[in-house]
Amino acid sequence: VQLQASGGGLVQLGGSLRLSCVVSGSILLVNGMGWYRQALGQEREVVAVISNRGTTNYVDSVIGRFTISRDNDKNTVYLQMNSLKPEDTAVYYCYADVVRTGYARDQYWGQGTQVTVSS
């Protein structure tokens, strides 16, 4: 199973970016998916998560600005980020809880994509 994230980049204060993460491999079912981020010198923190039924949760600092969504047919999770602030600057990692063919279940991480917000 592999997770491939894309969509990061450099954006100005108040700008927008959309992150995508595709899960591929011998997949039977993708349960929860989400996005975490890690700023330089800080611990990784959860940004947003979404269940396979579409229930979402966000860290308080992004509520009203970020939206997580998923396409179950494509095994893809998205993070629409609006009104970006310099404090959103971090490496963003996608996450998926996957049941593989054969019914083994594991958690997987993408490679990370850099988001930089300039002021």
The model's pLDDT over 68-92, given as tens digits with 9 standing for 90+, comes to: 999 999 999 999 999 999 999 999 9
Going by DSSP bridges, is the β-strand pair 2-6/17-24 parallel, antiparallel, or unpaired?
antiparallel
The residue type found at 71 is D
pLDDT digits (tens, 9 = 90+) for 18-70: 999 999 999 999 999 999 999 999 999 999 999 999 999 999 999 999 999 99
Query: What DSSP character marks residue 65?
Result: T
pLDDT (0 to 100) of residue 81: 98
pLDDT (0 to 100) of residue 103: 87
Confirm if 21 and 76 have CB atoms less than 8 A apart. Answer: yes
pLDDT digits (tens, 9 = 90+) for 94-106: 999 999 988 899 9
Confirm if 119 and 55 have CB atoms less than 8 A apart. Answer: no
With 0-12 / 13-18 / 19 or more C-beta atoms within 10 angstroms meaning exposed / middle / buried, residue 5 is: buried
